[in-house]
Amino acid sequence: MKTLLNIPLLKISEDLVDSFDRIAWRIEESGAPPSWFSQIMGDVGGLLQDILACVRSSCDEEEIDRKYEEIRRIRKILREEISRSERSSQVYAEMVSMLNNLEGLIEISLMKTLIDGASRLDR
Enumerate long-range contacts of 107-113, CB under 8 Å, 24 or more apart: 108/5, 108/8, 108/9, 108/12, 108/55, 109/51, 109/54, 109/55, 109/58, 109/59, 109/64, 109/67, 110/64, 111/5, 112/2, 112/5, 112/55, 112/58, 113/54, 113/58, 113/59, 113/60, 113/64
Residue 123: what pLDDT? 62
Residue-averaged pLDDT of the chain: 85
* Arithmetic mean of pLDDT, 42-56: 91
Question: Domain coordinates of the chain in residue numbers?
Answer: 2-118
User: Does the pLDDT at position 72 exceed 60?
Assistant: yes
User: Tens digit of pLDDT for each residue in 78-101?
Assistant: 888 877 777 777 888 889 999 999
User: Does the pLDDT at position 30 exceed 80?
Assistant: no
Residue 15: what pLDDT? 92
